[in-house]
Chain A
């Protein structure tokens, strides 16, 4: 059986929130094997991160090098190629770091790459059976992959639920890198923190959130009028920001803001997982979309299959009526 490793991303000594999910995915591949975490970094931060995993993993491989102080995927890849045994199975979160690291790593390790895995059915003989989503999440697909030469498996963030907390007493193993292992043809310079913008959507309890279905910039005002009538703020999904119809600070999702409203009106939003990852606290979710197959209807509480540009003004009218009745 191949040795299963979980790559645990750590920043400043804090392990990434995906760690418990990766542990569950590893158990779904083989529930009997003691699991190994592998971490890269430097100094006390790396040590702190390794210590924090001792109850969850049987072994923690600590790869320490000054060049790995910041998780630069180009350097982490070189370190992993040096340290990982042949035919390893490595689990990585399919987040901004894993997308950077894993495709090239699979080439360097000469093993298959299973990207953005949403569930794992079983390991039968040497074949892993798993599920992916395609076409914007509208269709699922079964996949198989031969693990004889190992594999890099990228797991979709949020797809696996964290299991019970561990009761192990894992050992930390130092794995040194030979000098000159790391060749920095890409160098990390700095992180630019996103601006908050004119409206802080993370502070609002009701959000009118618009997606591609709003169709054009001039229609944003339809959502703004509705938000005004409902006492809400306007947020959006990625295509609206890409098209420059709203500022980046209004974007909900894994590459935007994380919001925790009480009510979320998803207007013309298909429901890509990257968007849903930004909605926390289980709000009451009302989805309006003209496509009855839109994935957003799978997770919404209430759905309306209608044309946004007709339905939203009607909603605004009804909200205004209710307000004027209340004011009398």
Chain B
């Protein structure tokens, strides 16, 4: 099975306090800890497990710049067979449709049986996988949290409300967006990343991909972010400023007043 996994490098929101720059045009990106978008990492692990069961190759792809090579190397160290960087100044400012279009042009150059994305990235839009499927005229399922291969079909479960699972059969080739928790991604150490430090990562730009410049980038974006802002503070929590011990005492008294600690 030939599998393509779309990944993205994002600021790690669990490790960072996100602050705005003074103009509100972007977040302050200096000193941010970046990592591979978490659902994308689960998608790569799932692809590797499928490949190891049924054979084939796993290609990881990202749209970005030189800095984004680090996440591709990380996924190569996990065991991906090949990594591709789609990079061109003309891609800057692309919206979700633009990104999907760029990846579509790569997918058209090759043959993939299965294309995986993470369910969403740092903008929580959850859009590129579904758009890519429609552009390639392939069936799609989102929020996938289990996959079984059955010849030219897959049995996939989708996460729906209440922790329930919706089980579907889907024909190959198809596009799936992968939810976190589907597997346990393998650990990658510095040593593993060093071992793939010299692996060549082909980079393709707008002309190699054959994309018309007016179809991607800032000019083509239909959905445009105009600025970032910090929401007006709601009432908000009353923050306890006592010592640790005082705070603990206050909290226990509050919980007791509500019927706990008996």
Give the contacts of B122-175 with A (CB-CB under 8 A): 122-131, 133-135, 138-143, 155, 157-171, 174
**Residue B239 interfacial (CB < 8 Å):** yes
Contact size class for A? Answer: 35 or more
Q: Please determine whether A107 and B168 come into contact, CB atoms closer than 8 angstroms.
A: no
Binary flags per residue of B75-109, CB closer than 8 Å to A gives 1, else 0: 00000000000000000000011001000000000
Q: For the complex, would chain A's binding face be called helix, strand, loop or mixed by DSSP majority?
A: mixed
Q: Please determine whether A306 and B244 come into contact, CB atoms closer than 8 angstroms.
A: yes
Q: For residue A84, which residues in chain B have a CB less than 8 angstroms away from its CB?
A: none
Contacts of B96 in A (CB 8 A): 103, 113, 115
Query: Which residues, 245 to 266 on A, are CB-close (under 8 Å) to B?
Result: 248-249, 251, 254-258, 262-263, 265
B189 within 8 A of A: no
Contact A311 B254 (CB under 8 A): no
A113-B223, A248-B163, A302-B238 are known contacts. Are A139 and B228 too (CB-CB below 8 A)? Answer: yes
A73 CA to B177 CA in the complex, in Å? Answer: 14
B229: A residues at CB distance < 8 A: 139-142
Judge whether A258 and B162 touch: CB under 8 Å.
Answer: yes
B247 within 8 A of A: yes
In the bound complex, residues from chain A placing their C-beta under 8 Å from that of B225 are: 132, 141-143
* A residues in contact with B138, CB < 8 Å: 185
Answer yes or no: B256 CB below 8 A from chain A CBs: yes
Name B residues whose Cβ lies closer than 8 Å to a Cβ of A. 11, 13-14, 17-20, 27, 96-97, 100, 119, 122-131, 133-135, 138-143, 155, 157-171, 174, 180-181, 184, 222-231, 233-234, 236-240, 244-245, 247-256, 258-262
Can you list 5 A-B pairs, Cβ within 8 angstroms, ordered by A?
A73-B142, A140-B231, A284-B258, A310-B244, A322-B256
Could you list which residues of chain A lie within 8 angstroms of chain B, going by C-beta atoms? Answer: 72-74, 94-97, 99-100, 102-108, 112-116, 132-136, 138-146, 185-194, 205-206, 212, 229-232, 238-239, 241-242, 244, 248-249, 251, 254-258, 262-263, 265, 270, 284-287, 291-293, 297-306, 310-311, 314-315, 317-319, 322-323, 326
